[in-house]
Amino acid sequence: MKIHELELFLIESDRCDGPDRPRSLLVRMRTASGLEGWGESAFVWRPDELAARRDSLLAALSGRSVFDIEELHSLDALWPPPIRAAVEMAAWDLLGRVLRQPLCNLLGGFYRRRIPVSVRLEGCGCETAANESRELAEQGFHTITVAGSGNPDDDAAAVKAIRELLGDRITLRLDGQGLYDFEVARDICAELEYEGLQYFLDPIKTAEIHPSAVLGRQTNVPLALWRSIRAGGDVFAAARCGAAPFVVIDLEQLGGIAPAKACAAVACAAGIIPVLGCRASSGVSTAAMLHLAASTPAISIANEIAPCQLRDSVLADSPEIVEGMILVPESPGLGVEVDRSKLERRRPIV
């Protein structure tokens, strides 16, 4: 069974207004028999270059067996890593459909069938963050991530307001998004030391791992790394210098499902807790995250998703959400179907 055709679709969120609406690139991979698989990346090309990019990718992929997924990671044409992740995701989806098995079974089987998620609160003030977190808690979401604004006073106030309103009903995280100098990050840690944060993610303005280890020795707030984890070696380096007890594994950043699963294994062996991180998604990459989490025992705590992933979908039927957990689709491949009419409505006007 060989790759025969490839299509690229640029889509944008229909939940946001303005020129900076989130966009996604969808990849549709097809065999000569008509079976297809879908992949997704938040890394996008311009609409006017999609045709040339598609021709370049198809030249590298056409005629390759859908079973040779590991070989995709050696192709120079699949660069940068987010593009490789989208193509690899489509190949996994297609392979599952060829074998008539859910992706989870190809990755090791169903260890769990419900995946807990942490919903992110972004771009909102202290009072709004507290109110939105209460609404999420009432919907059954037990883990909330506050996305840092770059203003340390506002971020600390938002965390305190949520904790005061909800107490121990929720698990609370803060994502610094790499916005703070070392001294500011240390001050935030001191202020939030008794607020029960599960972790403070990417607190420092650096892609280097060692400064987090220095900060970790000066605070009791657990730290986590996302943006500096780009390969299994980065997880090993974080463990070796004691940089953080948590790492967030991002399929796009690592270049696919296979390297993400390998990173989770490294983290588990090193005594670090792995969490999956998924950027704004139209539903396809969220489904891939669910299958990876379902098949990997080490990924046991709530995984990071953006709020729009719960409602901003091009899928015919979005995965079911029950008590803050998303049910893993069990149909072949990723287990989801792209609604072509939704896809066409979401294409940007150029």
Answer yes or no: is pLDDT of 8 > 90: yes
Using CA atoms, how far apart are residues 285 and 85, in angstroms rounded to an integer? 9
- Tell me the pTM: 0.93
Which helix (H) or strand (E) segment holds residue 118: the answer is strand 114-121
Which range, of 16-20, 109-113, 281-285, 312-316, averages the lowest pLDDT? 16-20
pLDDT digits (tens, 9 = 90+) for 94-125: 999 999 999 999 999 999 999 999 988 876 77
Query: Which helix (H) or strand (E) segment is 114 a member of?
Result: strand 114-121
Query: Are the CB atoms for 146 and 203 separated by under 8 Å?
Result: no
CA 309/CA 120 separation, integer angstroms: 10
* Cα–Cα dist 237/42, whole Å: 27
Least confident of 35-44, 245-254, 290-299, 316-325: 316-325
Residue 218 DSSP label: T
Mean per-residue pLDDT of the chain: 91
| Strand-pair partners of 174 | 146, 200
Selection from 229, 241, 144 nearest residue 195 by Cα: 144
Mean pLDDT of the 60-80 span: 95
50-60 core/surface letters (b: 16 or more CB in 10 A; e: else): beebbeebbeb
3-class state of residue 36 by DSSP: strand
CATH homologous superfamily of 3-100+338-345 equals Enolase-like, N-terminal domain (3.30.390.10)
Give the pLDDT score at 18. Answer: 44
Cβ 124 vs Cβ 134: under 8 Å: no
All CATH 3.20.20.120 domain ranges in the chain, comma separated:
106-327
Residues carrying CATH 3.30.390.10, the chain: 3-100+338-345
Residue-wise pLDDT for 150-169, tens only, equals 999 999 999 999 999 999 99
Q: Superfamily assignment of 106-327 in CATH?
A: Enolase-like C-terminal domain (3.20.20.120)
Stretch among 9-23, 55-69, 96-110, 254-268 having the lowest mean pLDDT:
9-23
